Structure 1
């Protein structure tokens, strides 16, 4: 359990705003260090065999201008690819998202660290309408990315990610992740009452009470 929560604490989270072709966007931003070289981390992000072990199985034309699809329904276009430092994609959900161009983009930036490690930065910008942001705040996407980055850390540490955490560990991780995104939301100027309600809703969505 301590290792899982240490991974959660390793990430710095911020919420911001940005602009996409479809309009004003919210951003969730995650920054952390991985104890591996930049080429290895880039390979984990772009090699389909490794990508499926921490994100989801991927298919498509995996080169700039090509399109991709994940096993969970997310899909998009590869907008920018500069190995081993920058990868940017559009990030859409479900078939109806094809009618909403420019509504969601994910950019990952890597930089070599001073000790053979790598600085990792992920920015997910999305034009979010009711009820997602008003109900869940940045945790709507932020908790999901925290879970994926935990799996990435495990992969880089040599685990195969086939052993799931216990229900208690998973629920505690989600609870603390949602609370951390609540802190980022409040630091960005969120109303405390709205923030508290969003944290509660996000926690219930990702880790519903079995009762």
Structure 2
């Protein structure tokens, strides 16, 4: 298992906005450089056989124009695919539609940069209540899963093991540090520090069942 503190520090998180036809949207960007080559990382994040080893089973047509469904999670449409460098997709969950853009860039020395932008319309009330960690913790968990998989490509995390990790002291520490890191990203983007940290605390409580 990847060390929690190291994994949190290996990830960069930024927040911004984007003007869409329906109005202004929030953009959360998360980045990590992995010790693996471009083709291997592309396989890790796009292969229907490999994704379940670090996340959940995925079904559908994983090509441009195809529909996908993550078991018990989001689904959507692949709107762009430029293998092995980029893909875009809708992210449809709880009757809400948002958008993800994934970019992979070779960094040299066998390393590859993973960048994901998640663009979503978020109400002011929802932002004040939970802040960016509402989705950010989930993306941090996904990057942790990818990190574990590229370190040991043949390994797989069972749903039981994932649930046990989240319930463990180490898992709760990971969630807490992720929430705090997203709060700091919100502060850097101009949010009120007290409000940002309070929102992160509420999101952490929600993820750990303390709310």
TM-score computed with the length of structure 2 as normaliser = 0.90
Question: In the superposition, relative to structure 1, how do residues 151 and 10 fare at CA in structure 2: closer, same or farther (>3 Å)?
Answer: same
Distance 1:20 1:60 in 2: 28
Report the RMSD for the aligned CA atoms in angstroms.
1.8
Distance 1:157 1:2 in 2: 9
SS in structure 1 of the partner of residue 65 of structure 2: coil
Which residue does the alignment assign to 2:207? Answer: 206
Distance 1:25 1:124 in 2: 10
Tell me, yes or no, if structure 1 residue 143 matches structure 2 residue 137.
yes
Unaligned 5+ runs, structure 2: none
Tell me, yes or no, if structure 1 residue 160 matches structure 2 residue 161.
no
* Kept after mapping to 2: 8 A contact 1:112/1:119: yes
- What pairs with 1:119-134 in structure 2 (closer than 5 Å)? 119-129=113-123, 131-134=125-128
* Kept after mapping to 1: 8 A contact 2:52/2:156: no
Distance 1:35 1:45 in 2: 14
Question: In the superposition, relative to structure 1, how do residues 81 and 141 fare at CA in structure 2: closer, same or farther (>3 Å)?
Answer: same
* Kept after mapping to 2: 8 A contact 1:154/1:161: no
Which residue does the alignment assign to 2:37? Answer: 37
* Kept after mapping to 1: 8 A contact 2:25/2:120: yes
Deviating beyond 3 angstroms after TM superposition, the runs of 4 or more aligned structure 1 residues are none
Distance 2:80 2:146 in 1: 21
Which residue does the alignment assign to 1:3? Answer: 3
The Cα shift of 1:19 comes to: 2.8
TM-score computed with the length of structure 1 as normaliser = 0.90
Which residue does the alignment assign to 2:27? Answer: 27
The Cα shift of 1:73 comes to: 3.5
Number of equivalent positions: 204
* Kept after mapping to 1: 8 A contact 2:56/2:70: yes
SS in structure 1 of the partner of residue 54 of structure 2: coil
The Cα shift of 1:130 comes to: 5.6
Unaligned 5+ runs, structure 1: 98-102
Distance 1:88 1:51 in 2: 17
